[in-house]
Structure 1
Amino acid sequence: MTTQSPRDAGKPERHGASAVGGRADERRWRALTVCLVAGFMTLLDVSIVNVALPTVRAGLHMSDSGLQWVLSGYALAFGLVLVPAGRLGDARSRRAVFLTGLALFTLASALAGAAQNQEWLVLARLFQGAAGGVLVPQVSGFIQTLFQGAERGRAFGALGATIGLSTAVGPLLGGLLIHLFGPENGWRWVFLVNLPIGAVALPVAYRLLPPPRPAAERAGHRDFDPLGVVLLGAGTVALLLPFVQQQQWHSPDRWLLLPLAAVLLAAFVGWEQHYARRHEPLVSMALFAVRPYAAGVTLSLVYFAGFTAIFFIFTLYLQAGLHYSALTAGLAITPFAVGSGVSAAVGGRLVGRLGRRLVVLGLVLVLVGLLASALAVQLWSGPSVGWTTLGPLLVAGAGSGLVITPNQTLTLQRVPVARAGSAGGVLQTAQRVGSAVGIAVVGSVFFAHVGGRRPDWALAFQLGVAVAAGLVLLALLVATADEVANRRAAQVPSGSAGTGVSDGRGGGRPGS
């Protein structure tokens, strides 16, 4: 296979000169490494703060509402800018947008670590979330630019491992930092730990990441669609706000934002279809006509609603119900991180051969692991529950790695490089929306059983797991339906159907 150096990324390949095994090939993988380090840092801050909240409350004398905004403000700002930032990278310079996001994220982390009061920390988290949203979609865009074929699957495998590890290892790392630096200042290092990473990553990223394509090659892709940005941003906020503020905004009036979100997002779809007639839209609706992309985005939305909520309720169960320290609670979740990291790397190598079947297998393992965790808590609900859930969480983590990585590869495999950033932004937005909705839904079931005078923490966790498992089951149905459609498409005689685009399995079958 002919490969491109980062300096030639985005240009037509020259088939006479292969860079495989050469310095250009090594440079691409080093460029991917710096992207993954930066992406890990931003995604880690979604989960690492959870175990630090008790010490943050004590250190800054924060209200419940302020604590909620420390979590939800980051998620809102992150989800708000993902798609526009991805489109900006496509239209202008992906490297410049990446470096800007990384620099701003590092600065925001410093501001959060130096916070002197509640308002300061909330604003810093909003800033930090927006900067993370600027950076993250560029990573999938660079993978589309730098890699092809089986190598792209391996690269997405590394990205999937990064996503899974960042989500699962956050509580452990947060607990370790608080243990090392003490409850008074440990929470500050949850944010300040990003500073040395960002300081090292910035110059390395500038040196390794490919520059923008010549302006002539980006002709037709420079429009930025400001009305589309406004409609999508307003719709995203209206959709997320009732869920991320559920514990603080008790009035049922908050649910009136959901029909408003539906109207705004419907207007966004209509506007994008109109705008696409003469310009390059913020999000091409033609992407959703490609079944692997539509199925992958839907699966991400539902799956992240299920698996992300597990960390939320398990951490609460261990710390509030069983009085685990932040460190021991983080250690109890580590088996999921280990299983996810290992299987994500394996999944990236196998997805080219197995396609959506690998995702189906992963979802089955996640279901088995979650249900076994609930059973373990039923049988051993005392202080040793961290040991009894070790095996089930390892199985669930192994399954999760086989879901996130292959789904990422299969979803983005047919996306043109010129739309890689915005398409990746849509996928990431689906993940963030799913996480917010899942935490709200599963959390409401959990809190309903721990709010009285005699809270039943074990039952609350089991019921929360049951709801999360139901969401994972729904994701399994989506994956199974897509795999059935793949097999039917494979039976169609060559030339009578399909798009002619490789499906990522090493052949030309459509619909993978």
Structure 2
Amino acid sequence: MPDTRKHALAICLTAAFMAGLDVSIVNVALPSIREGVPDASEAGLQWILSGYALTFGLLLVPAGRLGDARGRRTVFTWGVTMFTLSSAACGLASTMPVLIAARLVQGLAAGMINPQVSGLIQQMFRGAERGRAFGALGATIGVSTAAGPLIGGALVSAFGAEHGWRLVFLVNVPIGLVLVPLAHRILPAPSPAKEGRRQTMDPVGVLLLGTAVTLFLLPFIQQHQWAGAAKWLLVPASLALLAVFVAWERRYRGEPVVDLSLFRMRSYGLGTAIAMFYFAGFTGIFFIFTLYLQSGLDYSALLAGLAITPFAVGSAGAAVAGGRLVSRVGRKVVVAGLVTVVGGLLATIAATYFVPGPHVALATALPLLVAGIGSGLTIAPNQAVTLSQVPTAGGGSAAGVLQTGQRLGSAIGIAAAGSLFFGALGQGWPSAFRHGLMVVVAFVCAALLAALYDLLRRS
């Protein structure tokens, strides 16, 4: 791999790490924000978490399409610039409305960055090299998501409640200041043909899809803040709007925001379904485990983060290996990974039966390591197989759709696992954790069934 492409990949992975880290790093800083911001409320704290997820998912597909049409380097650079500025605004915020607004912008910026990373990997690499690059991306995603609570806990512990939560955001600023000029100099420029041709952006399609995604996500991320069952009517409304979006895209005479013909490729359609089901389980693990440790067993933010580290270590190591294997054995790696995740999670459930008390982090370390290894063999190889037949010109848009599925799955998984977790609290924290993990296992099994179906159809 030429040095220029190595450097370009390093820039992409660093930006992906920043965006992924901010999904989970803020969780352990919420108590400090409640103390440090005068007008902090439970609803405001919820929006700091859910607002980022909402705007992140909202911009993935339009930003991917914009990168395909106008140049991925340009959109990537603007995304990192906006992420850096919004991170500074979060860290310096003195009121809750300012913090929430900056956090929403930070999510939009993350949504701009991520599809460009996948699109640039599609553009720069082929064959086995592409699999290895996606393996590195998978390791980055796994480490950033799982290491967020550890890094956040360390910052809060080291700098105290007053300044620690600010550094959770401000840590992105020096990284962003270095990335922007490097990205402009090293990332591949748009081709002359693309620069000379102004492609249409399908504004009606962007509006329909963005509204449908928003309506779908809102009741999940606001389930505890919006009383009553009426909020769930937004889900069928979003599905109806999605049907309108599909009808529009089929009749649109320009270049649509989503190329629906991609879903005729079995690898892409099933790969997107696998990603959605897997992320519904994957994200829920950290949510309920952190609650169990901090609220149920009085773990500090730092110790709770350390307890999740085995999953991150396993995921990072296995993602690199999975990236090397996927070009030779394809979807079989994903199936093996999902089976390993299920085994690791069932062993985690068993561990909480035998060691339900304060030593549960030690008891679950090995099972979580196994589950992390399975996760590393799932995320990156699945992304590589899913995007393997996608034309390079549409790589950003296709990656945006795939990652939107991941965000929708995450929202569903956290809501489902959280509901069973809180519903079973009357039986004790260990039992509540096991109930939540069973939901996680069910989602991972659904992903496994989709992967097995793809494997059987190929054979």
TM-score bracket for this pair, using the shorter chain length: over 0.9
TM-score, normalisation: structure 2: 0.98
Deviates more, 1:25-34 or 1:52-61: 52-61
- What are the ranges of 5 or more consecutive residues in structure 1 without an aligned counterpart? 1-19, 488-512
Preserved CA contact (<8 Å) 1:39 1:135: yes
What is the Cα deviation at residue 215 of structure 1? 3.1
Question: How do 1:74-89 and structure 2 match up within 5 A?
Answer: 74-89=52-67
Counterparts of 1:274 and 1:371, CA distance in 2? 47
8 Å Cα contact 2:333/2:381 also seen in 1 = yes
Q: 1:293-319 deviations in whole A, cap 9, x for unaligned?
A: 001100000000011101000001000
Aligned pair partner of 2:26 in 40, 44, 49: 49
What code does the residue aligned with 2:299 have? Y
1:6 matched residue in structure 2: none
Task: Give, in angstroms, the shift of residue 216 of structure 1.
Answer: 5.6
The aligned residue for residue 448 of structure 2 is: 476
The AA in structure 2 aligned to 1:81 is: L
Could you say what secondary structure the match of 1:124 adopts? helix
- In structure 2, the partner of 1:462 is 434
CA offsets, 1:199-229, max 9 Å, x none?
111111111101111136875x711000000
Q: Output the amino acid matched with 2:352.
A: V
Are 2:124 and 1:146 equivalent residues in the alignment? yes
| CA distance in 1: counterparts of 2:397 and 2:407, whole angstroms | 15
Give the Cα separation in 2 of the matches to 1:413 and 1:214.
Answer: 25
Contact 1:315 1:329 in 2 (8 A): yes
Whether the 8 Å contact between 2:71 and 2:194 is mirrored in structure 1 is no
Residue deviations 1:76-117 (CA, integer Å, cap 9, x gap): 001001100000000002111000000000000000011112
In the alignment, residue 70 of structure 2 is paired with which amino acid? R
Q: Please report how far the alpha carbon of residue 45 of structure 1 lies from its aligned counterpart in structure 2 after TM superposition.
A: 0.4
For residue 4 of structure 2, what is the amino acid of its counterpart?
A: R
Bigger CA drift: 402-411 or 178-187?
A: 178-187
Q: 1:60 aligns with which of 12, 20, 37?
A: 37
Aligned-residue identity in percent: 59
2:292 is the alignment partner of 1:317: yes
Runs of 4+ in 1 over 6 A off after TM superposition: none
Output one character per residue of 1:102-137: Cα deviation in whole Å (capped at 9) or x when no partner: 000000000001111211111111010001101110
User: What's the CA shift for 1:430?
Assistant: 0.5
Contact 2:146 2:309 in 1 (8 A): yes
CA contact (8 A) 1:87 1:282 kept: yes
Distance 1:154 1:63, change over 3 A: same
For 2:259 and 2:251, how far apart are their aligned partners in 1?
Answer: 11
1:233 is matched with 210
Between the two proteins, the alignment pairs up a number of residues equal to: 458
Change beyond 3 A, Cα 1:114–1:411:
same
Matched, 1:302 2:274: no
Letter in 2 for 1:466: M
Of the structure 1 ranges 55-64 and 386-395, higher mean CA displacement relative to structure 2 is found in 55-64
Measured on the aligned residues, the alpha-carbon RMSD in Å equals 1.1
Q: Distance in 2 between matches of 1:60 and 1:249?
A: 23
1:215 corresponds to which letter in structure 2?
A
- Tell whether 2:353 aligns with 1:378: yes
Q: Distance in 1 between matches of 2:179 and 2:245?
A: 36
Determine which structure has the larger helix proportion and give its number: 2
> How far does residue 250 in structure 1 lie from its aligned partner after superposition?
2.1
Q: Which has the bigger relative contact order, CA under 8 A and spacing at least 6?
A: 2
Equivalent in 304, 311, 319 of residue 344 of structure 1: 319
Indicate the residue corresponding to 1:69 in structure 2. 47
Pairs within 5 Å for 1:106-505? 106-215=84-193, 219=197, 222-275=199-252, 278-450=253-425, 456-487=428-459
Q: Secondary structure at the match of 1:383?
A: coil
1:91/1:218 contact within 8 Å kept: no
Q: Distance in 1 between matches of 2:282 and 2:73?
A: 32
What SS class does the counterpart of residue 223 from structure 1 fall into? coil
SS at match of 1:250: coil
How far did residue 433 of structure 1 move?
0.6
Q: Which residue of 1 aligns with 2:10?
A: 33
Higher Cα radius of gyration:
1
Amino acid at match of 1:334: T
